[in-house]
Amino acid sequence: MMSSNGKKQGIAFIFAAVATLVGCGGTEGVDTTTPSADEAAYLDELFPSWSDVGSMVADSSKYQYREPPVPIMVDGQLRPAASIKEFNGRPLVFLANAESTEGGFLFVFKNPEELRRHLQERGAMPRAQGASDVSALGVNDPSPSAFYTNSGLQGSVMHLSVGSSIYNLTDRPLDVFWTWNDKISSVQATGLGSYTILYEHSGYTGAQFWVARGASIFNLDWHSFNDRTSSIRVVW
């Protein structure tokens, strides 16, 4: 019969192994190794330059932000929720993760490059394995990302496993009349990958909303992203 101390050590070992697998802890997708050329190209694709942002705001009327229910963190400074309106007329990148949830705020970045620097500083970059679907790797994803047509994780639901992506949601039927394009109102991120990324336009372009592993956004309308998603990535 195993002793009490032996049982405790065994449980601790199992917990440590699980934590290593799913990345439990203070970061969302840590990979501190130097990426290969292919991996670097993939990460550059995840964090595109918005040097042509002028063309993105030709119709600036659609970038009218409503006040979120929590303060926003911009450039390392916590600002009142109402200050989001200072960014009306331009696309933004949002990040919801354990740090923002625990701190009671929402990260806001002016472009993907700022987000990349933020994640690099925290050792929380996504892994560069995102080109392959998890099913092709023989990995069982017990908690794929879930996307809902209604707030509160309600309504029709679509699931995507880690490593999956949808280039254009007009290609994904919702029912006999509609597609999933501009129909997502809440999201529950995968517990296996690092981030679930919502994009405003097809082809992974436009404004972005990054949701870290295991996080849920119960109402995207609170963050001015309701019914605005046209492409999705669920990355390692």
pLDDT (tens place) for every residue of the chain, 236 residues total: 445 444 444 433 333 333 323 333 334 444 456 778 888 888 999 999 887 555 555 456 778 899 999 999 998 899 999 999 999 988 999 999 999 999 999 999 999 999 999 999 999 999 866 444 444 444 555 679 999 999 999 999 999 998 899 999 999 999 999 999 999 999 999 888 899 999 999 999 999 999 999 999 999 999 999 999 999 999 98
Pairing of strands 106-109, 72-74: parallel
Q: Rounded distance, CA 196 to CA 188, Å?
A: 9
In a domain, 208, yes or no: yes
CA proximity to 167, closest of 138, 204, 131: 204
Name residue, tokens 């592993």: 213
**What phi and psi values does residue 51 have, to the nearest 5 degrees?**
-65, -25
In a domain, 19, yes or no: yes
In a domain, 160, yes or no: yes
In a domain, 1, yes or no: no
CATH code for the domain of 155: 2.60.20.10
In a domain, 70, yes or no: yes
Residue 201: give the domain boundaries.
Answer: 7-235
In a domain, 83, yes or no: yes
In a domain, 146, yes or no: yes
CA proximity to 161, closest of 138, 172, 145, 137: 145
How far, rounded to the nearest angstrom, does the alpha carbon of residue 76 sit from its chain's CA centroid? 19
Domain count, the chain: 1
In a domain, 142, yes or no: yes
